Structure 1
Amino acid sequence: MAGPLQNIRVLDLTRVLAGPWSTQILADFGAEVIKIEKPGEGDDTRGWGPPFLTNPDGSRGDAAYYLSANRGKQSVAIDMAKPEGQKLLQDLARNSDVVMENFKVGGLKKYGLDYESLKAINPKLIYCSITGFGQTGPYAQRAGYDFMIQGMGGIMSITGQPDGTPGAEPVKTGVAFADVFTGLYATIGVLAALHHRDKTGEGQYLDLALLDSQVAVLANQALNFLVGGKAPKRLGNAHPNIVPYQTFATADGFVIIAVGNDRQFREYTKIAGVPEVAQDPRFLTNSDRVGNREALIALLVEPMKQRKTAEWIAALEAAAVPCGPINTIDQVFADPQVEARGLNVTLARADGTKTPGVANPVRFSATPIEYSTAPPALGNATEEVLRRVLGLTPEQVGKLRDSASIG
């Protein structure tokens, strides 16, 4: 495999999204990722549809959800509840650089697959645990799911229409926000731990929590509270620190205006036909505009309805004023910039099943990503991995299959 991590092997014990998102990134970067799944069942997300793939024989295949986070991996079906399965996983960990898991706190200890057990057989191992609330604290034993973490972690309190307006209520993001960010932080942590190991020869344990990650990505909104002492509120599509930075209704839809400095504001008001607004002492600077938000927006609403969205974008872009449309997802993939960047990728399984996907956004100049392995069918590489990595004979593999230790 190509990529900057081509000499790294990852034993992936995760399922659903946060962990698989991280290991898919590692696979994109060239790591060998061995995805462990329960024989006959596999990752829960294989069934999280519709929509589903259609197999060459016309039967229902894997769900789109599963395809979103499992590109580039090899599926090995092992039953960790069986002693033989536990031994196989311990042997795979002995021959791996990274283990990633998202079981409940302490859930793998009874299988001999916890960090201390695997560290004893592979001191250089990087072991990453992903849970809802982390390994410590009063919530450590609680299950954590993205939706509830979005609520507990604050993002829903600042997402949605303002109180007192139509449709006002807390709203979650349209994707699993906490899961995806936790997967990104897990990837960053693993890469840092591998760098540390390169310098010292030491492995280490990584403790990732969905709640921690959700709080971390509150970003400027967290600091707005920590510095200002007031909890931010929902502003709809407006920005707490920049004005005007929101959506406006146009003659045929909506447009995003993202004025980031005073020059842009002056240019914007000229194009909108209200240049005098930029000279109003209430609106001279961004801090003035934030303090007088309601008065300013009231002066802009009607002028913005006088042109169509495309006309606004053409005029504003010509003046270097940031703006844009609100695309539906089908429009996203039809966008010429998205097409030019090759963000829609399609891979084929061995049986010919085509699996669409979205390209990794990281572009390496020296070690480019090669998209060569589709999200695997359940157990597609069980025998091959056990023979290649652990040196098992066909007879040994056959006995394991007969005992239902592997699938």
Structure 2
Amino acid sequence: MQGVRVLEVAQFTFVPAAGAVLADWGADVIKVEHAETGDAQRGLVRLLGLDVLSKGASFFPIMEGPNRGKRSIGLALEKPEAMEVLHELIRNSDVFLTNFLPRARKKLGIELEDVRKINPDIIVVRGSGFGQRGEEIDKGGYDSTAFWARGGSGDGVTPEGSEQLLGMPSGAYGDSMGGMTIAGGIAAALYKRATTGETSVVDVSLLGVGAWATQFSVNLALMAGQALPKRNAPKHGSATNPLIGTYRTSDDRWLMFSMLQPGKYWPEFCTVVGREDLITDERFDSVEKIMANALEAAEIVAEIMESRPYDEWVKLFEGMDGQWAAVQNAWEVGNDVSLVANGQIADVVDADGNAQKLVVNPVQFDETDVSLTRAPQFAEHTDDILSELGLSEERLIELKIAGAVT
């Protein structure tokens, strides 16, 4: 993406995450923030019951994740002088990226037709909660509402009879997936422009991303013509396979098994756990019998798994052909050996000069690790960006006095 300039007029995570991915890929991403308040996400201090600020340092992970690698300019878009600057940025950009609602875009003069009048070749990208057509075009949404609740994931993970809907497993869960989706759409639009000379409007909604994530179930429901019944899965294993699902260890951790061919993997599993007798047990000595007696076999597997702690099982299962995974918490994911080996956890130097770590977007080119740079401080690059646009020192001072830039 080197040589591509992205102008981002957006806040929070959903659309800014797309800008971060493009910055990872080499694009020059200029983030427009309000001249006084900046990105509203900068004001968050607690989220999901957690402190999100690092004590005694400037490092702010919920801003760093979706904003690393960008440059920030502070513009008061309600002022005519600031709009002059924005228009010049639009003229010099390849992509205009926003998540402002239509009524806000219209008020600020940054609707599709406004942007295209300034730069007919620019790719316009709009992230939304519920799409750019229909009754809900002006309805705001976060990933908890548009992606998780409306998109089907919340219902899909909540057991029948539950007293509450289960929440997302992480903050910005749908936002991060949506940002990756937008980045892919932008890449396709840039390819189209490069090969045909034609520009595009790219629209991605959190609801659409949510439906795509649950498409397996949605497609089955559409075929059936009704809501799918809730799964009443057995406590251990599945109805026909004891080597499916999660099992608890003696220290209350979990391992996930996904050995879809029980006849193939049962002998190996029994050998690894030291229960070779189960291979020739007349209840389980063929694939047909394993499937017929799966619930009984699953109870035995559960007893075996509860006999040792998590770390012992992880070490014991290394190299096993059967598919399994340790169920990891966020700290363990951040230190996962395969993520680290593949450059998916990267070092970044924060504004204080301290070494920090961030998760890298999952796309890698040419087996080369991404080199991350930190997210910008609020309006950190205003002077540099305005100088690049050819504004004189005197004009820069005038804009600051007018309150148009920060």
Per the TM superposition, whether the score is higher than 0.5 is yes
Following superposition, the deviation at residue 358 of structure 1 comes to 2.0
Residue 83 (1) aligns with residue 80 (2)? yes
SS of the residue corresponding to residue 386 of structure 2 reads helix
Describe the superposition over 1:59-108 as per-residue Cα deviations: whole angstroms up to 9, x where unpaired.
x6463211121100000000111111122111111110001100112421
Change (3 A) 1:281 1:241: closer
Question: 8 Å contact 2:8–2:30 — kept in the other structure?
Answer: yes
Determine helix, strand or coil for the equivalent of 1:324: strand
RMSD of aligned residue pairs (Cα, Å): 2.9
Pair 1:309–1:133, CA change in 2 (3 A): same
Please give the alpha-carbon distance, in whole angstroms, between the structure 1 residues aligned to 2:67 and 2:165: 31
Name which of 153, 156, 162 aligns with 2:154: 156
Distance change >3 Å, CA 367–CA 268, structure 1 → 2? closer
Q: Is 2:373 the partner of 1:378?
A: no
Q: 1:209 maps to what in 2?
A: 205
Partner Cα separation in structure 1 for residue 176 and residue 313 of structure 2: 34
Query: Within the alignment, does 1:170 sit opposite 2:168 as a pair?
Result: no
- Contact 2:20–2:66, Cα closer than 8 Å, also in 1: yes
C-alpha displacement of 1:221? 2.8
Match of 2:48 in 1: none
User: Aligned equivalents of 1:8 and 1:241: distance in 2?
Assistant: 53
**Structure 1: any 5+ residue segments left out of the alignment?**
none
Instruction: Find the aligned partners of 1:18 and 1:238 in 2 and give their Cα distance.
Output: 37
Which range moved further: 12-21 or 241-250? Answer: 241-250
| CA distance 1:163–1:367, shift in 2 (3 Å) | closer
The 3-state SS of whatever aligns with 1:187 is helix
Whether contact under 8 Å (2:130, 2:206) holds in the other structure is: yes
Q: Distance in 1 between matches of 2:152 and 2:295?
A: 25
Give secondary structure in 2 for the equivalent of 1:33: strand
CA distance in 2, matches of 1:85, 1:169: 47
SS at match of 1:306: coil
- The letter of the residue matching 1:362 is V
Q: Retained in 2: the 8 A contact 1:221–1:232?
A: no
Q: Hey, what does 1:70 align to over in structure 2?
A: 67
The alignment's TM-score, normalised by the length of structure 1, stands at 0.86
Give the distance between the partners of 2:337 and 2:157, measured in 1 at CA: 30
Give the match for residue 248 of structure 1.
247
Shift of 1:132: 0.5
Contact 2:59–2:351 (CA<8 Å) still a contact in 1? no
**Contact 1:157–1:234 (CA under 8 A) maintained in structure 2:** no
* 65-74 or 141-150, larger mean C-alpha shift: 141-150
Instruction: Give the Cα separation in 1 of the matches to 2:102 and 2:294.
Output: 47
1:183-198 map, 5 Å: 183-198=179-194
Instruction: Please say if 1:330 is aligned against 2:325.
Output: no
User: How far has the Cα of 1:307 moved from its partner?
Assistant: 3.0
Write out per-residue CA displacement over residues 195-251 of structure 1, whole angstroms, 9 at most, x where no aligned residue.
100111111111211101100111433334344555153678989999433211122
Partner of 1:140: 137
